[in-house]
């Protein structure tokens, strides 16, 4: 199991870095492609749109085993990252980012199922959070490293390294993940049967609004740290490392609390942190200390909510829709990213590039997510103890 989790974490690292490192290299990529910072936000949105479209692969891959699916997803990620590293124009870079994002949601939905299947009873959330640590470590080490490489060498080299990590993951998955039977074949429409219930929509809308709220500000975190915090561009990688450290802590604590309490309640608590952080970003004038603390708070909240939401949707899809349920979280997550990036760019434009205003645009979204998750928890969650959620296993 440990080797399987390492293989999944390596893949999560590749996707986590691909998704988030564009925020750290945005100024350099924009300058190289001769576009403005708000226009460069399309490089972020293109990845997010790819995630939404690519999840449809699971509909037609439902009969394949999870191991085969993960290998296929990593091959596509390799091709997209390599294409992005070589793209000569903004249009082609946008296409490369779209390709890279195609397997993202499908990967995390499948990886969550694999981790949940391999986990000991009562420790599902902890195991899923461990498999997802690659995504948080990507933010702690990968994104700062990419920002440093972009500052001192080229952002293209960062994407080339990312392609190499995707290739390495293919090897690790083939060697270390055991065969796991495909999910129950409920047919094409049967995979979506869980969406006829109201509960899953609470979660998906909360994921969408919550991430739209955070990414309205986070998409422009690198220039925000420089313009508001007064940090030199060469110092930004250290701030990205601080944010990544907060994500690691948030992800692990969120998984631990989910195993001992309510999943949606845990996610609602995390969204409260994001609302507080965004309010502070908008109202506090900002200096080096302030901006560092606010970055830590919001980054912590972003991944504190990740595992409970992923588990809620995987459980909602039981009976043939597990993969779609898990992937739907990533679709909502990245659709929120795309909308948030666009809203943040719009707030910058109407405020004449005042980097406090993207946070203002994100507050209503994050607040809506907090309320939706709280309502779901009060309405649907009755079993709060890990012991009560133990399932019998026949040997």
Check which CATH number belongs to the domain holding 33 and give it: 1.20.1250.20
Is 111:131 a contact under the CB 8 Å cutoff?
A: yes
Which pLDDT tens digit goes with each residue over 156-215? Answer: 999 999 999 999 999 999 999 888 877 676 667 777 788 888 888 999 999 999 999 999
Looking up tokens 């890990």, which residue turns up?
386
59 in helix, strand or coil?
A: helix
* Residue 355 is assigned to a structural domain of this protein: yes
* Residue 137 is assigned to a structural domain of this protein: yes
Instruction: Supply the pLDDT for residue 198.
Output: 87
* Residue 392 is assigned to a structural domain of this protein: no
* Residue 146 is assigned to a structural domain of this protein: yes
Which pLDDT tens digit goes with each residue over 38-82? Answer: 788 888 889 888 888 887 777 776 677 888 899 999 999 999 999
Count the Cβ atoms, other than its own, within 10 Å of residue 189.
9
* Residue 94 is assigned to a structural domain of this protein: yes
* Residue 135 is assigned to a structural domain of this protein: yes
Instruction: Supply the pLDDT for residue 58.
Output: 75
Instruction: Supply the pLDDT for residue 320.
Output: 66
With CA atoms as reference, report the closest residue to 74 among 167, 175, 182: 167
Residue 365 has pLDDT above 50, yes or no: yes
Where in the sequence is the domain holding 284, given as residue range(s)?
Answer: 2-380
Q: What percent of the chain has pLDDT over 70?
A: 93
The sign of the torsion formed by the CA atoms of 68, 207, 217, 35 equals: positive
Q: Up-side HSE of residue 115: CA atoms within 13 Å toward CB? A: 30
* Residue 365 is assigned to a structural domain of this protein: yes
> What is the CA angle 109-115-120, rounded to 5?
145
Residue 326 has pLDDT above 80, yes or no: no
Looking up tokens 């750290």, which residue turns up?
24
Instruction: Supply the pLDDT for residue 387.
Output: 47
- pLDDT band at residue 358, thresholds of 50, 70 and 90? very high
Token pair for 59:
């509909």
Contacts within 8 Å (CB) and 24+ apart, 153-157: 154/28, 155/25, 155/28, 155/29, 155/32, 156/85, 156/86, 157/85
**d(C-alpha 150, C-alpha 156), whole Å:** 8
Which pLDDT tens digit goes with each residue over 106-160? Answer: 888 788 888 878 777 767 777 777 887 777 788 778 888 888 888 888 999 999 9
* Residue 389 is assigned to a structural domain of this protein: no
Domain count, the chain: 1
């Amino acid at each position: 199991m440990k080797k399987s989790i390492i293989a999944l974490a390596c893949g999560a690292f590749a996707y986590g870095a691909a998704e988030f490192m564009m925020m750290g290299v945005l100024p350099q990529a924009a300058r190289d492609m001769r576009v403005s910072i708000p226009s460069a936000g399309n490089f972020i949105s293109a990845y997010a749109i790819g995630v939404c479209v690519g999840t449809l692969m699971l509909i037609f891959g439902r009969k394949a085993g999870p191991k085969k699916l993960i290998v296929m997803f990593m091959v596509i990620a390799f091709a997209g990252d390599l294409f992005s590293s070589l793209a000569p124009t903004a249009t082609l870079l946008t296409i490369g980012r779209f390709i890279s994002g195609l397997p993202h949601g499908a990967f995390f939905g499948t990886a969550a199922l694999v981790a949940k299947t391999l986990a000991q009873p009562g420790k599902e959330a902890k195991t899923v959070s461990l498999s997802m640590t690659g995504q948080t470590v990507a933010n702690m080490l990968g994104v700062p490293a990419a920002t440093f490489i972009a500052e001192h060498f080229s952002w293209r080299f960062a994407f080339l390294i990312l392609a190499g990590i995707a290739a390495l993951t293919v090897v690790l998955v083939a060697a270390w993940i055991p065969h796991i039977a495909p999910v129950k074949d409920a047919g094409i429409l049967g995979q979506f049967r869980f969406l006829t219930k109201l509960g899953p929509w609470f979660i998906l809308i909360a994921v969408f609004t919550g991430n739209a709220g955070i990414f309205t500000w986070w998409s422009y975190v690198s220039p925000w740290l420089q313009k508001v915090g007064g940090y030199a561009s060469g110092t930004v990688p250290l701030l990205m490392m601080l944010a990544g450290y907060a994500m690691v802590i948030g992800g692990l604590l969120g998984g631990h609390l989910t195993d001992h309490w309510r999943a949606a309640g845990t996610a609602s608590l995390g969204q409260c942190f994001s609302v507080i952080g965004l309010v502070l970003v908008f109202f506090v004038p900002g200096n080096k200390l302030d901006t560092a603390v606010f970055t830590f708070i919001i980054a912590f909240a972003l991944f504190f909510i990740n595992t409970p939401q992923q588990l809620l949707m995987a459980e909602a899809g039981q009976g043939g829709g597990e993969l779609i349920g898990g992937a739907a979280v990533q679709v909502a997550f990245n659709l929120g990213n795309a909308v948030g990036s666009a809203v943040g760019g719009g707030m910058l434009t109407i405020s004449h590039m005042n980097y406090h205003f993207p946070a203002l645009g994100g507050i209503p979204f994050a607040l809506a997510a907090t309320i939706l998750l709280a309502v779901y928890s009060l309405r649907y969650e009755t079993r709060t103890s890990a012991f009560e959620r133990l399932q019998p296993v026949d040997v």
